[in-house]
A and B are shown apart, each in its own frame.
Chain A
Amino acid sequence: MTDLTSLTLTAAREGLALGHFTAVELTQAYLDAIEAAGALNAYVLATPEKALEMAKLSDARLAAGEAGPLEGIPLGVKDMFATEGVRTTAASGILAHFVPPYESTVTARLWADGAVLLGKLNQDEFAMGSSNESSAFGPVVNPWRKTGSTQKLVPGGSSGGSAAAVAAHLCAGAAGTDTGGSIRQPAAFTGTVGIKPTYGRCSRWGIIAYASSLDQAGPLARSVNDAAVLLRSMAGYDAKDSTCADRPVPDFEAAVGASVKGRRIGIPREYRVEGMSAEIAALWDKGAQMLREAGAEIVEISLPHTKYALPAYYIVALAEASSNLARYDGVRYGERVAGRDIVDMYEKTRASGFGAEVRRRIMIGTYVLSAGYYDAYYVRAQKVRSLIKRDFEAAFAEGIDAVLAPATPSPAFGIGEKSGADPVEMYLQDVFTVTLNMAGLPGIAVPAGLSAEGLPLGLQLIGRPFDEEALFALAQVIEEAAGRFPVPARWWA
């Protein structure tokens, strides 16, 4: 029998429906693969017993003709999603033993549609990072290596475990979260597809909060079609999240393969940032050519406030983080370190429970919200955010259907390479991805080529609010033209 883990989600779904193999067999194949892939550190917790139990129920439903849209499909879940009875840590020491008594809405939807939980995936602590190096469980190793090299590379972040697991076939797909690029940048670093849907498309209920006005859930997958299938199950109205949009969820899969003839695609000149590598620039041109050949019209556009998106993002995100993470006080849940009084207890608990990057971000957030600085930093950043959104609205008003841009400024870098004294160096990873979190827009990262050193490179498409369908159609054009990018060697197994 062929290795079942090599099947895309879409192919596995068909194989299950036709009875070529069972959900238990498929799940066991993934559990074996996870067991053999300890060197990647992609999972922080595997749940084999639960997985096999869920798979058995899926087999029963398949046999009874009651299969859901994801029946028997084994998935990994980023450790930001609360999973009932299954330890959920956000890769932080402060939640080292947290076992949620409830299930997040997005994961509940996946299980209701028949999916199987393989385990919880590694990430940057509280999703704060772009390399998965800030995890309390240690870094994730990218399954990709430079040609002829054994250097360990980062998988990107913060959904680095999710991206690595999808690329290494340790799950059929994964649920991640994206606050400033945390789905799209790791997808680009691992040759996988990742979409951050429109703000409000997926419920945030039960997802550990980082920056609430920016956080969105979305899938990481091996193909555009796989991502479309997953997003359809993850999305939808939820009364428990007041920012969740009450609108119907389209059949995203039907958009995959739809014609893009006559679509107007904007190429923002401000994204040609100083120091952009020739490789990335060439990939971008190649992507535009692929869309042109499929009948789309390529138009140069201007998004004048692009260069301010990243600094404004770091003010807004960190301000919200400092407020959201105030809840970890050693009283209601999480770890506690004893102190001489309650304030000392809070301070020791938080100093010991949070890692360095999280402490740094909370402190910046606290500073920009403190008396005397609130207007100069936070209010100004929110005004700049309005301007960033206005730039996109102006482009869409002129008939632009989607924007094409690189996903990242470079391919995957080495572990430890960017963890020097200046945190800003790492923040620059998000230069192409944060703008749409600021504007609430959907964006998809799709692999489009390889670097000279043999590493995957991704392109990003940015759409109108709630028009993920256009992104799936356009991304499919790139996938068909560029092909898929499987990891060349399973060196870890």
Chain B
Amino acid sequence: MSVDQATVRRVAHLARIAVTDEEVAHLQGELNAILAFVDELAEVDVTGVEPMTSVTPMKLPLRADVVTDGDCADKVLANAPAAEDGFYAVPKVVE
């Protein structure tokens, strides 16, 4: 499979990465090189094979449903690019 420039733009938007026209042409070539490389997998017979969902055979552990952390809004917000009154601040999202 290979991608055209419209697909590169669509994927960039899905990934929320801005791309310039110049970058689209480059990315198309690079992405197609990687996709050509992974296309080798098409020749493997995977009939009846279960996809791996866990690297080691294990059950997801459960713990008691209690609060073990929290009450540290200052710490949580310490690295925020913008914060106001104990909240993250973002550009207006509702018109």
Residues of B within 8 A of A213 (CB): 55
Interface membership of B67, Cβ < 8 A: no
Interface membership of A51, Cβ < 8 A: no
Residues of A within 8 A of B81 (CB): 330-331, 333-336
> How many Å from the CB of A42 to the closest CB on chain B?
26
> How many Å from the CB of B21 to the closest CB on chain A?
13
Interface membership of B66, Cβ < 8 A: no
Q: Determine whether the beta carbon of A366 is less than 8 Å from that of B80.
A: no
> How many Å from the CB of A305 to the closest CB on chain B?
7
Q: Determine whether the beta carbon of A384 is less than 8 Å from that of B41.
A: yes
Q: Mark B1-24, 1 if CB is under 8 A from A, else 0.
A: 101000110011111111100000
Q: Determine whether the beta carbon of B19 is less than 8 Å from that of A332.
A: no
Of residues 55 to 93 in B, which have CB atoms within 8 Å of A's CB atoms? 55-56, 58, 60-61, 63, 72, 75-76, 78-82, 88, 90-93
What CA separation (Å) do A307 and B41 show in the bound complex? Answer: 9
Report the tally of A-B residue pairs with Cβ distances under 8 A.
169
Q: Mark B29-48, 1 if CB is under 8 A from A, else 0.
A: 11101110111111010100
Residues of B within 8 A of A342 (CB): 90-93
Q: Determine whether the beta carbon of A363 is less than 8 Å from that of B55.
A: no
Taking each of B27, B40, B78, B79, which has the highest tally of chain A beta carbons within 10 Å of its own beta carbon? B79
Q: Contact check: which of A305, A331, A380, A465 meets B90 at CB < 8 Å? A: A331
Return the chain A residue nearest B72 by Cβ: A101
Q: Determine whether the beta carbon of B58 is less than 8 Å from that of A350.
A: no
Given contacts A332-B88, A423-B30, contact A314 B17 (CB under 8 A): no
> How many Å from the CB of B90 to the closest CB on chain A?
6
> How many Å from the CB of A345 to the closest CB on chain B?
6
Q: Determine whether the beta carbon of B37 is less than 8 Å from that of A314.
A: yes
Return the chain B residue nearest A354 by Cβ: B17
Q: Determine whether the beta carbon of A384 is less than 8 Å from that of B17.
A: no
What CA separation (Å) do A382 and B8 show in the bound complex? Answer: 24
Q: Determine whether the beta carbon of B15 is less than 8 Å from that of A362.
A: yes
A-B contact pairs, 29 of them (CB 8 A): A199-B55, A239-B63, A245-B58, A308-B41, A311-B38, A311-B39, A311-B40, A315-B38, A326-B16, A329-B16, A330-B81, A331-B90, A332-B88, A333-B79, A333-B80, A346-B16, A360-B27, A362-B17, A363-B17, A364-B35, A366-B15, A367-B7, A376-B1, A380-B41, A382-B51, A383-B46, A386-B52, A423-B34, A465-B56
